[in-house]
Structure 1
Amino acid sequence: MRAKNKLSAGFIRTAPAGKHSDGAGLWLIKREDGGAQWMLRVTVHGRRREMGLGGYPTVGLADARKLSERWRSLAASGRDPIKEREAERRAARREDISLSIITEDAFEARKAELKDDGKAGRWLTPLKLHVLPKLGKVPVTDIDQRDIRDTLAPIWHTKADTARKAMNRLSIVLRHAAALGLDVDLQATEKAKALLGKSRHVAKHIPAMAWADVPAFYASLEEPTLTHLALRLLILNPGVRSKPLRHLRLEQIERDVWTVPKGEMKGQKGKAPAYRVPLCKEAKRIIEQALPHARNGYLFPNTRGGVISDMTLSRLMERRGLEARPHGFRTSLRTWLAEATDAPHEVAEAMLSHATDSGVVRAYRRTDYLEQRLALTERWADYVTGGDGQVVKLVGAAK
């Protein structure tokens, strides 16, 4: 039998960085910063498993030995201790059917559908801010339409979009609870909407510049500053929103194509591919002008090591007394496409990185219309830089 209980409490307190064996598969991993972690190595069905037992000193030597003895016994009986611990945790969570716990469980189940596995946290935010503080500890089986009405009433008319998102997320959580076998009212959110009534909030679209006014504004951005250059590149490629543009890295550009990484484009989910942006001659000229400003791999850096902010672009337009904002150039382009070109609908939508048709149709249509988009981008650039804005004829465009 392997030696056990090799370590002492005194040694652990002063142990150098590295791995220290207590015997029988129990190890103390000491870090350079002084922190430490217990780790157990066991073999199950011929496969070695490594299982964290907690950090030291939260888990002391005696506790670590007790835990390791328990999990070693399970492994000796042919059961995987890691899977057994996960099962115990799931069982414990099932005993707690509060809205907070069920919400976390629903979020975990949906992560793969969300951008960047939901790491940005936006899916949970409406619930965390406006629902869970009031209803988080309430058993999900006890929640009814009156609870939901009273919780969302303060923002129903004043923050309508946030309230709508919170209501939709809550409906998903209730359906998840029902799938777990819990007796919940799946109609509670619809009943709550009936009690709250129709929202008085009127959605406001982001102000856009008329496409006829874009050339004059583009010409006014004549200084070689980061703000002017970034706005010019955004106008030339409004299909790419402000964030991917401001975070543009030099390695994303190869010849005439700028490839926005997976997950960086709004609305991309799951296995959506990276988005390719065809660069027209004018866009490449702007990029060349911006290169001397590049720092840390970013084309549009700020002085603190990050990138310029979205407000930097918006404030320039605000200071000039313009109602339009940078995001509005997407509308400018889309209106120009409709009124001054014969671009097919699917190509025009691809210019704005919009998904069209059903998922099945998109699965069989393996094209992003790069060549057609380049032709349109060149014509748009010709127009905004003072060209004649003639009707675009797309040769070979998909029907």
Structure 2
Amino acid sequence: MSKLTPKFVKETSAPGTYQDGRGLFLKVTAGGTKSWVFRYSFQGDRRDMGQGSFPAVSLRDARLEADKARLELARGTDPLARRHQLRHEAQAKRRKGTTFKTEAELFLRTHAPSWSPRHAVQWRNSLGTHVYPRIGELPVAQVDTDQVLDVLAPIWSTTPVTATRVRNRIELILDAAKARQLRTGENPARWRGHLDKLLPRHKRSTLPFPALPAEQVPALLHRLDRMPGPAARACELLILTATRSGEVCGARWEEFDLAARIWTIPAHRMKAKRAHRVPLTEAMLEVLEQVQGNHQDFVFLNARRTGPLPGNALRRVLDAAGAENCVPHGFRSTFRTWAAEQTNHPREVCEMALAHTLESKVEAAYNRGDLLDKRRGLMEEWSAFLGTFEREVVFKALSVSEPAGGE
């Protein structure tokens, strides 16, 4: 006969075990947590089967669940083993029904908030172009080596950088699926000890960034100065500061101390994730003065005046200026070559002007300054050089090699 009442279950708080009869009891912990347990014997072994916590499971519901377990016992079935079996079957059904694309989209929703917008777009584009068309609708549990190779083979030799990134992204997604118990076994996208035996290793190579020789840049800057619009001003500032496209296009007024003549680019906008100070010269200040007042936040506005200038706007303005054979990033190479060949500034000053890290870890550990004053002298010389416009030229780019994938 049942002994507990709804009122007692609700009001009791003393730690202990309270029997309801026929194996069902309420367990109250010292912390006040209440839970239901059904105790029974099966083939000589005592088992405790949880029935849920109060108040989520009421006394009535706990008794009904206990009755179901007693019925299983009467049929010769272990109710706890039956519960585990049902859970396993449900999990298997879930594994079978979850597609690679579903798991990939969950991975993106989870991790994209910690990435830069550009990195998130690159992820989505590469998956949408190369992965989803081939394995997107396959159950994530069934993706195997042959299917991973089916994705990678068409791009492995033609676009090696993209192929390497796609392989890594597939591996991360499948690792996440395994962590969520949607997969078992080894990761078919793993490189070391697996795909490295099935695909040729990519050769380390350099990619050329088309860049103008330094002697042609003053004429280009003169031509840009006569062009209207924020893209032309942004391109001028990019050349004068030798910074990256994203750093210029995403510049905010709050980053500039015009009185101290310093532009501080925050760490989250830098490739190396370290804040970078740029000494501002008179020529740079003149460019900034031309766009002051256009927007309270962004220095260079997009065409709709809703946000920062897109990076491809710089390439378009270079084409319009007749420098279609070079790219914005190439001006960093131009600056570095000019600094090495036409100035006496130390190598570390030139490298820090480009926000490059020192090659020696020991040197970097001891040299923690940013050499701002010395870099100011270098940038003043660069600005003076760029002001030496004499005549119009036909721009002809040089291929300046830099490491593939960036600086």
Contact 2:144 2:188 in 1 (8 A): no
1:229 is matched with which residue? Answer: 233
Instruction: Assess, with a 3 A threshold, how the Cα gap between structure 1 residues 347 and 151 changes in structure 2: closer, same or farther.
Output: same
TM-score, length-normalised on structure 1? 0.61
The Cα offsets for residues 117-149 of structure 1, whole Å up to 9 and x where unpaired, read as: x88343454234322443245455644432122
After superposing the two structures, state which structure 1 stretch, 227-236 or 102-111, moved more: 102-111
- 1:283 maps to a residue whose letter is M
Aligned-residue offset at 1:253: 1.0
The equivalent of 1:129 in structure 2 is 129
1:75: Cα distance to partner? 11
Matches within 5 A, 1:104-123: 114-115=115-116, 120-123=120-123
Q: Which residue is 1:257 aligned to?
A: 262
Secondary structure of the structure 1 residue equivalent to 2:329: helix
Taking structure 2 as the reference length, the TM-score comes to: 0.59
Please tell me whether Structure 1 or Structure 2 has the larger radius of gyration of its CA atoms. Answer: 2
- Once the 2 structures are TM-superposed, how far is the Cα of residue 211 of structure 1 from its aligned partner? 1.4
Counterpart residue number, 1:145: 145
Counterpart of 1:374 in structure 2 is 376
Q: Which amino acid is 1:211 matched to?
A: A
Which residues of structure 1 form unaligned runs of 5+?
Answer: 1-44, 47-69, 77-87, 388-399
**CA separation in 1, counterparts of 2:364 and 2:204?**
35
Unpaired segments ≥5 residues, structure 2: 1-30, 33-51, 59-86, 390-407
Per-residue deviation, 1:359? 7.6
Q: Spell out, residue by residue over 1:244-269, the C-alpha distance to the aligned partner (whole angstroms, 9 max, x if none).
A: 3123222221131112233222x24x
Q: Cα distance 1:163–1:258, how it changes in 2: closer, same or farther (>3 A)?
A: same
Give deviations 1:313-354, integer Å, cap 9, x for gaps. 322322344311222111111212222234444432322223
- Contact 2:171/2:187 (8 A) holds in 1: no
Tell me the secondary structure at the aligned position of residue 220 of structure 2.
helix
Contact 2:234 2:249 in 1 (8 A): yes
Residue matched to 1:16: none
**Larger displacement relative to structure 2 (276-285 or 132-141):** 132-141
Superposed, 1:59-74 pairs within 5 Å as 73=55
**Residue 71 to residue 297, structure 1, CA distance change in 2 (3 Å):** farther
Give 3-state SS (helix, strand or coil) of 1:206's partner. Answer: strand
- Structure 1 residues 230 and 108 mapped into 2: Cα distance closer, same or farther (>3 Å)? closer
Pick from 199, 217, 220 the counterpart of residue 220 of structure 2.
217
Residue 105 of structure 1, CA deviation: 6.8
Residue number in structure 1 paired with 2:23: none
Paired with 1:103 and 1:358, the residues of 2 have a C-alpha distance of 38
Q: How many Å apart are 1:208 and its aligned residue?
A: 0.8
Distance 1:178 1:336, change over 3 A: farther
- 1:163 and 1:151 mapped to 2: Cα distance? 9
CA distance in 1, matches of 2:363, 2:191: 32
Distance 1:257 1:148, change over 3 A: same
8 Å Cα contact 1:141/1:185 also seen in 2: no
CA 1:230–1:72 in 2, change beyond 3 Å: closer, same or farther? farther
Would the alpha carbon gap of residues 196 and 348 (structure 1) be closer, same or farther in structure 2, given more than 3 Å must change? same
Give the number of aligned pairs.
Answer: 301
1:277 matched residue in structure 2 = 278
Q: Does residue 362 of structure 2 align to residue 353 of structure 1? A: no
Deviating more after overlay: 227-236 vs 127-136: 127-136
Contact residue 168 and residue 189 of structure 2 kept, 8 A: no
Q: Distance in 2 between matches of 1:250 and 1:372?
A: 25
Amino acid at match of 1:134: R
Give 1:290 deviation, angstroms: 2.7
Residues 170-319 of structure 1: pairs in structure 2 closer than 5 A = 170-174=170-174, 182-185=184-187, 188-189=190-191, 191-192=194-195, 195-197=198-200, 205-223=208-226, 225-226=228-229, 227-239=231-243, 241-255=244-258, 256-265=261-270, 267-268=271-272, 272-291=273-292, 294-306=294-306, 307-319=308-320
Distance 1:357 1:151 in 2: 36
Q: Is the 8 A contact 2:148 2:188 kept in 1?
A: no
Alpha-carbon distance in structure 1 between the residues aligned to 2:368 and 2:203: 43
Percent sequence identity over aligned pairs: 30
Alignment counterpart, residue 333 of structure 2, candidates 322, 331, 334? 331
CA distance 1:124–1:289, shift in 2 (3 Å): closer
User: How does 1:35-114 map onto structure 2 within 5 Å?
Assistant: 73=55, 96=95, 99-100=100-101, 103=104, 114=115
Distance 1:93 1:208, change over 3 A: farther
Root-mean-square deviation (Å): 4.3
Change (3 A) 1:107 1:310: closer
